[in-house]
Amino acid sequence: MSFFILIILFAALGILLGYAAIRFKVEGDPLVDKIDALLPQTQCGQCNFPGCRPYAQAIADGEADINQCPPGGEAGIAALADLLGVEPKPLNEDNGVEKATLVAVIDENTCIGCKLCIQACPVDAILGAPKHMHTVIEAECTGCELCIPPCPVECITMEPVTKTLALWEWEKPDTSQAKAKS
Partner 1 sequence: MQFLTSNAPFIAPQNSVQKMMLWVLIALMPGIITMVWQFGYGVLANIIICVSTALIAETIMLRLRGRALGPALSDLSAVVTAVLLALALPTLAPWWIPFIGTFIAIVIAKHLYGGLGYNPFNPAMVAFAILMVSFPKSMTVWVLPHSLLPTGISFSDIVAIVLDQQPKQTLIDAITAATPLDEMKTQLGLNQTVEEIRASSIFASLSGRGWQWVSIAFLLGGLILLFKRIISWHIPVGLLAGLFTISFAFYLLEPSVTPSPLFHLLSGGAMLGAFFIATDPVTAATTPKGRFIYGVLIGLLTYIIRTWGGYPEGIAFAVILINMAVPLIDYYTPPRTYGHK
Partner 2 sequence: MKLWSFHGGLPSLAEHKNESVNLPIETAPIPKTLIYPLGQHIGNAAKPLVQVGDKVLRGQKIAAAQGVVSAPIHAASSGTVSKIADHLIPHPSGFSAPSITIKTDGLDAETDYTPHADFQQLTAPQLVDIVREAGIVGLGGAAFPTAIKLNTQSKAVDIDTLILNGAECEPYISCDDRLLKERTSRIIEGIEILLHMLGAKRAILAVEDNSPDTFSSIQEAINSNNNLAINATQIPTIYPTGGEKQLIQTLTGKEVPSGKIPTDIGIVSINVGTVYAIQQAVIEGKPLTSRIITVTGEGVNKPHNLEVRIGTPISALIDVCHGYTKQAERLVMGGPMMGFALSSDSIPVVKATNCILVASQHEVVTEKQAMPCIRCGLCASACPVSLSPQQLYWFSRSDQLDKAAQLNLSDCIECGCCDVVCPSHIPLVQHFRYAKSALKVQNHEKQLSNIARERFEAREERLARDKAERAERSRKKKAALKNKPAKEEIDAAVSRSKTKKNSIDNEG
Question: Which spans of this chain sit near partner 1 (rule: CB under 8 A)?
Answer: 177-182
Burial 97-109 (b: 16+ CB within 10 A, else e): eeeeebbbebeee
Nearest CB to partner 2, comparing residues 5 and 167: 167
Q: Specify the 3-state DSSP secondary structure of 124.
A: coil
Amino acid identity, residue 89?
Answer: K
Residue 115 CB, shortest distance to partner 2, in Å, is 14
94 contact choice in partner 2, partner 1, none (CB below 5 to 8 Å, kind-dependent): none
142 binds partner 2 (CB under 8 A): yes
180 contact choice in partner 1, partner 2, none (CB below 5 to 8 Å, kind-dependent): partner 1
51, 59, 91, 126: which one binds partner 2 (CB under 8 A): 51
Q: How far apart are alpha carbons 84 and 76 in whole angstroms?
A: 12
162 binds partner 2 (CB under 8 A): no
* Whether the Cβ atoms of residue 127 and residue 106 lie closer than 8 Å to each other: no
